[in-house]
A = this chain, B = another copy of it.
Amino acid sequence: VATNLALSFAEKGFIIHQVYSRNIKNAKALGRKINAPFTDIISEIDKAANLYIISIADNAASDIVSQLDAGNSLVVHTSGSLDINKLNKFPNHGVFYPLQTFSKNKPVALNDIPILIEANTDKNTEILKQFAAFFTSKVHVMSSEQRRDTHLAAVFANNFTNHMYNIAERILKRSDISFDLLIPLINETARKVNDEIPCHVQTGPAVRIDKEIINKHLIMLADLPDYKKIYKQMTNSINKESKLIKI
């Protein structure tokens, strides 16, 4: 997230005063990418910035918060699951959460990505909304609770979906079939829910209650017990829900 945000900020002409990381290698790598000074010593963090962005694993945030001296400047974190009140120490604080999946090596443009904003005062909310609007048209003000639900939903829609792709890849591998074969199907599956809610476009043996195919599939998964369990549970869940919809 840090790398992606820094690159997007620099691209829009914002000046990044300094990069801090507990790991000097990471600080250096990002500092060089955006031509900014870098440090791994928290007391050396520049005190003249307008905005401090804490982009770090949730469980490491408390440490940074307790040590950071940001004066009256605005301090934000970029986490989906961390409550805004973790930043209560700072008189001006907020949250700037881009709802997207990032990889360090493949920067993703922020265009059209929702950015979820929260702040401790109306003025700070306004500042963050205006800042976010430089990058995307999709700026949403949300409470910590809503953001937490959004993050949980994103774990299903992104992390677990990717694991489904992974299981598919492994099943194909044992028959020496290339994963590329599934790409048009994967793309269409995603495209469909751009227009319709998922329960309206559910297909497959589970929603049809096609026991013959389901049993065949379970036998085929006998040597992959974890995937077999996942298959059963997903099938039951789809099945249950499609019945609820019909009622």
Q: Which chain B residues border A199 with CB–CB below 8 Å?
A: 166, 169
| Residues of chain B contacted by A100 (CB below 8 angstroms) | 184-185, 188
Please choose the segment from A8-16, A88-96, A151-159 that sits at the chain B interface, where 4 or more of its residues have CB less than 8 A away: A151-159
- Checking B148, B156, B177 against A167 with a beta-carbon cut-off of 8 angstroms, the contacting residue is B156
Closest 7 CB pairs of A and B: A159-B204, A166-B198, A190-B190, A153-B168, A165-B198, A157-B168, A149-B175
* Contact between chains at B203 and A103 (CB < 8 Å): yes
Which one of B189, B217, B230 contacts A237 once the chains associate, using CB atoms below 8 Å? B230
Q: Are A159 and B217 in contact (CB under 8 A)?
A: no
Where chain A touches its partner, the secondary structure class is helix
Set of chain B residues within 8 Å of A161, measured between Cβ atoms: 161, 164-165, 186, 189
Query: Could you tell me which A residues sit within 8 Å of B by CB distance?
Result: 57-59, 81, 99-103, 106, 108, 112-114, 138, 140, 142, 145-146, 148-150, 152-169, 171-172, 174-175, 177, 179, 181-194, 197-199, 201-208, 210, 212-213, 216-217, 220-221, 226-227, 229-231, 233-234, 236-238, 240-241
Query: Which residues of chain B are within 8 angstroms of A155 by Cβ–Cβ distance?
Result: 204-206, 217, 231
Known contacts: A114-B184, A194-B183, A212-B58. The answer to whether A220 contacts B152 by CB under 8 A is yes
The docked-state distance in angstroms from the alpha carbon of A204 to that of B160 is 9
**B145 and A175 form a contact (CB under 8 A):** yes
In the complex, what residue of chain B is closest to A182 when comparing beta carbons?
B157
Would you call A146 and B59 a contact (CB within 8 A)? no
Nearest chain-B residue to A190 (Cβ)? B190
Asked if A186 meets B157 with Cβ closer than 8 Å, knowing A99-B181, A149-B174, A197-B169, the reply is yes
Distance of A135 Cα from B114 Cα, bound (Å):
38
- Name which residue of chain B comes closest to A238, CB basis: B163
Say yes or no: A57 contacts B206, CB within 8 Å. Answer: no
Q: Which residues of B contact A59 (CB under 8 A)?
A: 210, 212
